[in-house]
């Protein structure tokens, strides 16, 4: 059995990457958010329409240093479930420009508890014909072998909106793969993604 600290980091890593998605929840119920697992991998797929053409949203998406100001709003509050906790709380988030990565402070509320830090590389290709943003786990652990995701953006023809499609995957040790019931993990991930979606919509509307 892997050390407790390694297992805790693995739990944090999977949930962190699953929680880093801009789309719409709250009053925006048209988002598709789905967590699944197969062949030793977890996968998260999100499809959503964002308010505004990509040219207007790009300054928000490209301002990595500004992410904490809008991403952390109500990030640890489960919608409609006062007193109930997520598997983990996000205690801090900062962007490290020298290494082009995000560093998040995580407090695990389930399993073994404790405070940890998770780092995710980020790379934008917003000037490309098909704009995208990619993320990847900065350092593998004995349980999380690899983790990555990409966001692809496209203007919706005939509207002033942007379509975003996200796909992310995590390959983990089999012990962790079978540790969490998918139904419970899915509920946590989809709620957290919903909060981030609402936060992005709020920020995008504020900038218009």
Tell which residue, 134, 189, 162, has the closest CA to residue 18: 189
Mapping DSSP to helix (H, G, I), strand (E, B) and coil, where does residue 42 land? strand
The span from the CA of 177 to the CA of 172, in Å, is 6
Answer whether residue 3 shows pLDDT above 50: no
pLDDT of residue 16: 53
Long-range contacts of 176-185 (CB under 8 A, 24+ apart): 176/7, 176/10, 176/11, 176/14, 176/143, 176/144, 177/37, 177/40, 177/42, 179/7, 180/11, 182/35, 182/36, 182/37, 185/15, 185/35, 185/87
Look at strands 41-51 and 132-137 and give their pairing: unpaired
Do residues 45 and 34 touch, judged by C-beta distance below 8 A? Answer: yes
pLDDT of residue 148: 95
pLDDT of residue 25: 38
Q: What is the mean pLDDT of the chain?
A: 84
pLDDT digits 0-9 by tens, 178-205: 877 888 888 888 899 999 999 999 999 9
Q: 10-14, 31-35, 129-133: which has the highest mean pLDDT?
A: 129-133
Q: What is the CATH number of the domain that holds 141?
A: 3.30.530.20
The span from the CA of 48 to the CA of 156, in Å, is 11
pLDDT digits 0-9 by tens, 59-101: 999 999 999 999 999 999 998 888 889 888 999 999 999 999 9
Q: Give the domain extent around 166.
A: 4-207
Domain count of the fold of the chain: 1
Answer whether residue 40 shows pLDDT above 70: yes
Pull the structure tokens for residue 103: 């560093």
pLDDT of residue 189: 86
Q: Which residue has the higher pLDDT, 145 or 52?
A: 52
Tell me the β-bridge partners of 103.
94, 119
Pull the structure tokens for residue 57: 């949203």
| Least confident span in 47-56, 116-125, 128-137 | 116-125
Mapping DSSP to helix (H, G, I), strand (E, B) and coil, where does residue 69 land? helix
Confidence tier at 132 by pLDDT (50, 70, 90): very high
């Amino acid at each position: 059995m892997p050390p407790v600290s390694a297992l805790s980091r693995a739990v944090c890593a999977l949930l962190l990457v699953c929680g880093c998605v801009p789309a719409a929840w709250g009053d925006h119920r048209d988002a598709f958010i789905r967590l699944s697992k197969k062949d030793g991998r977890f996968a998260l797929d999100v499809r959503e329409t964002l308010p505004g053409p990509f040219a207007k949203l790009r300054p928000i998406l490209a301002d990595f240093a500004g992410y904490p100001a809008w991403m952390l709003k109500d990030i640890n509050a489960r919608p409609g479930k006062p007193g109930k906790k997520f598997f983990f709380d996000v205690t801090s988030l900062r962007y490290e420009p020298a290494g082009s990565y995000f560093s998040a402070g995580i407090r695990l509320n389930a399993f073994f508890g404790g405070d940890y830090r998770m780092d995710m590389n980020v790379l934008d290709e917003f000037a490309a014909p098909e704009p995208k943003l990619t993320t990847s786990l900065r350092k593998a652990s004995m349980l999380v072998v690899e983790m990555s995701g990409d966001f692809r953006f496209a203007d919706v023809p005939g509207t002033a909106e942007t379509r975003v499609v996200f796909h992310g995957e995590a390959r983990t040790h089999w012990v962790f793969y079978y540790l969490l019931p998918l139904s419970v993990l899915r509920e946590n991930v989809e709620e957290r993604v919903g909060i981030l979606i609402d936060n992005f919509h709020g920020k995008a509307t504020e900038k218009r």
